[in-house]
Amino acid sequence: MFTTNEQFSKFSLGGVETALRFAQISLDSTEKLVKFNLEVSKQSLEDNIKVAQDLAGAKDPQEAVARINKLATESVEQAVTNSRNVYEIVTQAQGELAKLAEENLGTLNKSLINVIEDIAKNAPAGSEVTVNAVKTSVAAAAAAINSFTKAAQQVNEFAETSVKAASSATADAVKATTKRASNTSAS
């Protein structure tokens, strides 16, 4: 016989647990981002004070330009580093949420198959073809979701590699430009 109340109770409890895990992951990630932003703001304030003091100590315009170029390079490098850190926090949260979704889809799929099998046991004679068609549809949907999940992971890995390459290229370009500017101003 069906134990629908028990099945619905388990399903509801699973949903509540999933919602709580989702909320915990979201709050942890938000906390990391806020903490990081506060640290960056504090460091930025300290850096601005240092910059003002450093520029005030310049003895001539060429020295001031050289110091400004150096500060610009350091600023861009810091911005690239900060972007990487934010990207890592977001990527970590995305990975945890994807894992949670994948776990829940697996559990949902198993539960659905169990319900279908329970229905099949009590189904009238001659309904085997319909039950098998439903089972096949559920299996096909699960395979499609699995393929979609794998494709999304591949896109995420590609994006991560691209972001790392772009940030390294940006930092290298800034260093090269600053070096050229320093050589030009020294001439």
At 119 the pLDDT is 74
Mean pLDDT of the chain: 80
At 158 the pLDDT is 75
Q: What is the pTM of this model?
A: 0.65
Contact between 183 and 103 (Cβ < 8 Å) = no
Contact between 164 and 138 (Cβ < 8 Å) = no
Q: Which range has the top average pLDDT, 81-85, 150-154, 172-176?
A: 81-85
Share of the chain above pLDDT 90, in %: 16
Which range has the worst mean pLDDT, 67-71, 86-90, 153-157? Answer: 153-157
The string of pLDDT tens digits covering residues 2-41 is 456 676 677 677 778 888 998 999 999 999 999 999 999 9
At 116 the pLDDT is 75
Rounded to an integer, what distance in angstroms lies between the CA atom of residue 96 and that of residue 24? 11
User: Is the pLDDT score of 187 beyond 70?
Assistant: no
Q: What domain range is 146 assigned to?
A: 4-185
Number of domains in the chain: 1
* 3-class SS letters over the chain: CCCHHHHHHHHHHHHHHHHHHHHHHHHHHHHHHHHHHHHHHHHHHHHHHHHHHHHHCCCCHHHHHHHHHHHHHHHHHHHHHHHHHHHHHHHHHHHHHHHHHHHHHHHHHHHHHHHHHHHHHHCCCCCHHHHHHHHHHHHHHHHHHHHHHHHHHHHHHHHHHHHHHHHHHHHHHHHHHHHHHHHHHHC
Q: Which range has the top average pLDDT, 52-61, 142-151, 157-166?
A: 52-61
At 7 the pLDDT is 63
Q: Closest by alpha carbon to 167, among 95, 90, 87?
A: 87
